[in-house]
Amino acid sequence: MKHNIAAVAFSALLTGQALADEIIAVPFDGSFDDATFAVESAIVGQGLVIDYVSHVGDMLNRTGADVGSDKQIFKAADIFVFCSAKVSREVMEADPMNIGYCPYTVFVAEDQKGVQIGYRGYPDGPMQKVETLLSDIVEEAAGS
């Protein structure tokens, strides 16, 4: 019995993790700078405050040689980090462990394929409210 419960719990964890690890990205028809401006405007337009912008592309480009790589992954890549008091409260009242998904992020990345805007997917259930918020931000920024 104990093993069956562990197997079911592990299976649920894997299923949830697979959904949470999905990356949703849409192409942006414009420059990287235009995309970052559009994302920032869309986040602020939702009444949210950007806590931090992580310049992942700069870091990867700067440290490549230090870790033995000469491959350029991105021409540029930024991650916008923010939270929503309203949505966060809703999803954490449903399950306090949803704190593990906070803060929320939207990325802008430019590689050889062009500029993309995106976010990571969240598991079914209450976290879909967060995914809807992120989807709305990305759609607005991408002009969809």
In a domain, 119, yes or no: yes
Q: CA 139, CA 144: separation in Å to the nearest integer?
A: 5
Q: What is the pLDDT of residues 62-116, one digit of tens each?
A: 999 899 999 999 999 999 999 999 999 999 999 999 999 999 999 999 999 999 9
User: CA dihedral defined by 30, 33, 35, 39, rounded to 10 degrees?
Assistant: -160
CATH code of the domain covering residue 116: 3.30.310.70
Please tell me the pTM assigned to this model: 0.83
Q: What is the pLDDT of residues 3-45, one digit of tens each?
A: 444 343 334 444 444 455 799 999 999 999 999 999 999 999 9
Q: What's the domain count of the chain? A: 1
In a domain, 9, yes or no: no
State the amino acid at position 143 in one-letter form. G
In a domain, 7, yes or no: no
Structural domain for 131, as ranges: 22-142
By CB atoms closer than 10 A (0-12, 13-18, 19+), residue 112 is exposed
Whether residue 103 is preceded by a cis peptide bond, meaning omega within 30 degrees of 0, is yes
In a domain, 71, yes or no: yes
